């Protein structure tokens, strides 16, 4: 798809807001590109300095299973389980950064395109694979979302074991955050100080952490999963967009799928994943669909928002895209051409000062 050169506008009633020129990454233009898996891509730094992208592990595993005949939901859950199990990845699962009281609370959602069924858990403690518990909510109940202590009891009833999820590495980051707290913490959007650094290694740490993985089979069946440890040092019980169907994840087997990472509160306000899928239903490409949903967030603020938000999307043909409010976001792709990291399209060069 050619790079957009015109200005973008969102119209609501009599209000018209102009948006900056859109810079775009490449989007697949050779449908059908199936099977295909895409995922968010956080950089993970090991203690020895080795760097890898968690999303590549997820997409490669998902495609491996799809090619072996697995259901796409089984495949994407297996992909993100690798990330949930990784103690070096502080964005999800075991080793995820904790809430303000030092307790790890996990959220996840799953959605299966062929059946339209979905399941989710939120504020789940002591269970390192919330994506697997979310699938059980979908398969074993007629509910969609279980939270907190009820979600934990549900997981234990199916044989999951309670585990301490706070690793020493994540604990050291939390302890440093506690030492550097101020009156600016923790109840307003500017609550996070500039101290998200590991006390031992000194590297900068993201204050949000999520992985979304979407996949489509050769036959055109689609599934998705989003799993997260949420906003670092959050108020206990805070739930972001990841476990909310239609916000952090949405799948329609006739159209496509979308998911999100970044500042969840802003995404909830625009019901982002559902909005992206509905945009694709109306004929937009995945890139256009993601950017239009991001522009809705910009409209809420009347200009550049203070936080990053990312969308990922694929459609029935296997066209795909990632898009973000600010430059620098990337995502993982695995398809017939192999595995790679691609740059997301974006609306702005940098956040407001």
Q: Which two tokens stand for residue 296?
A: 């809705």
**Angstrom distances, CA of residue 193 to CA of 42, 167, 181, 210:** 21, 22, 7, 20
Beta carbons of 332 and 339 less than 8 angstroms apart: yes
Q: Is 275 part of the annotated catalytic residue set? A: no
Rg of the chain over Cα atoms, rounded to whole angstroms, equals: 19
d(CA 186, CA 98): 14
d(CA 171, CA 155): 25
Given the residues 210, 217, 261, 275, select the one marked as catalytic.
Answer: 210
Query: Exposed, middle or buried: residue 325 (CB in 10 Å: 0-12, 13-18, 19+)?
Result: buried
DSSP state of 197: B
Query: Exposed, middle or buried: residue 183 (CB in 10 Å: 0-12, 13-18, 19+)?
Result: exposed
* Catalytic positions, written as ranges: 210
């Amino acid at each position: 798809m050619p790079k957009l050169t015109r200005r973008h506008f969102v119209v609501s009633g009599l209000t018209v807001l102009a948006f900056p020129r859109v810079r775009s990454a490449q989007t697949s233009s050779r449908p059908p590109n199936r099977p295909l898996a895409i995922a968010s891509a956080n950089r993970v730094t090991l203690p020895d300095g080795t760097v890898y992208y968690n999303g590549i592990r997820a997409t490669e595993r998902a495609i491996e299973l799809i090619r072996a005949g697995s259901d796409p939901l089984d495949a994407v859950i297996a992909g993100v389980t690798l990330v949930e199990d990784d103690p070096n990845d502080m964005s999800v699962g075991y080793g995820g950064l904790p809430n303000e009281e030092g307790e790890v609370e996990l959220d996840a959602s799953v959605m299966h395109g062929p059946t339209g069924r979905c399941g989710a858990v939120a504020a789940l403690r002591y269970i390192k694979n919330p994506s697997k518990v979310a699938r059980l909510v979908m398969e074993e109940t007629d509910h969609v979302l279980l939270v907190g202590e009820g979600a934990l009891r549900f997981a234990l009833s199916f044989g999951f074991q309670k585990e301490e999820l706070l690793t020493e590495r994540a604990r050291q980051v939390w302890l440093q955050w506690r030492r550097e707290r101020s009156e600016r913490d923790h109840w307003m959007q500017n609550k996070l100080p500039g101290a998200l650094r590991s006390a031992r290694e000194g590297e900068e740490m993201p204050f949000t952490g999520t992985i979304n993985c979407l996949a489509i089979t050769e036959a055109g069946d689609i599934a998705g999963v989003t799993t997260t440890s949420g906003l670092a040092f959050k108020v206990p019980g805070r739930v972001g967009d990841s476990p909310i169907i239609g916000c952090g994840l949405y799948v329609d087997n006739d159209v496509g799928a979308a998911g999100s990472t970044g500042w969840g509160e802003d995404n909830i306000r625009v019901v982002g994943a559902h909005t992206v899928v509905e945009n694709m239903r109306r004929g937009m490409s995945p890139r256009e669909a993601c950017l239009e949903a991001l522009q809705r967030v910009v409209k809420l603020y009347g200009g550049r928002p203070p936080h990053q938000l990312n969308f990922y999307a694929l459609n029935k043909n296997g066209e795909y895209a990632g898009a973000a409010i600010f430059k620098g976001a990337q995502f993982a792709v695995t398809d017939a051409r192999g595995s790679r990291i691609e740059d997301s399209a974006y609306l702005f060069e940098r956040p407001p000062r």
